[in-house]
Amino acid sequence: MSLLIGSFFVFVVFFTSMLSGIFGMAGGLVLMWFLLLAFPAASAMAVHGAIQLTANGSRAWLSRRFIVWRTVAFMTLGVISAAGLLMLLGYSANAATVSLLIGLMPILVWMPKRWFHLNANRTSHALLCGMASGGLTIAAGVSGPLIDIFFVRSRMDRREVVATKAMIQVVAHSIKILFYLSAALALGAGDWGMVLLAAPLAILGTQVGTHVLHRLTDANFRTWTRWIVTGIGIFYFAQGAYLLSQ
């Protein structure tokens, strides 16, 4: 990673961590785009996991009193199950597949809520959420919009939603790093040095985003999330279609 790219990487980490601190997602989507440009897909997954683990970990810590731990426990079982299945299938990430999967995610945020009878507070639904979101995190790197549909009928407010999502993403990104461990080990010391340099910026961005979150109303939170994720998704889908055409 050159000095110029590394400097831009540090800025991107701060900005995307701030986005995630506000909306509980979106930041990871933008960060993955940059990493796919800078690294092979598997290596991008590993670096993305390390940064998101830092950002989500700090967000989970700052909002720890709002985490619904029972839901996190069952989701974790689901994530582990999904990782095991993908290992058995021998899944290997590539930029086109990752882009198309992320590009399709905005469909989830526009589907009418009445279509879903999912509640992350229920044991079976939390387990299913862990399996689906964990599988998507490993396959595409991110899964925020998918996790959201399991919170549609939950009794959580915006702070509990963001805090609980942050904690389950700590788990999912940790397992993603292990899944792509060989690609992570193949990266140079300079690359990981830049990741370590960016880690404090991820925490700072999260703190700034969390401060903004507490100033938003629940209505504004959901509206802005929907439009931001949609714009990012359209870009990703176009990128994936282009990569396939090549």
Task: Give mean pLDDT in consecutive 10-residue pieces for the chain, a chain of 246 residues.
Answer: 74 83 74 86 90 83 91 95 94 88 79 75 91 91 79 78 88 93 86 83 82 75 76 86 84
Please tell me the predicted confidence (pLDDT) of residue 180.
Answer: 94
Pair of tokens at residue 20:
């995630």
Per-residue buried b or exposed e for 164-199, using 16+ beta carbons within 10 Å of the residue's own CB = bbbbbbbbbbbbbbebbeebbeebeeebbebbeebb
Please tell me the predicted confidence (pLDDT) of residue 2.
Answer: 66
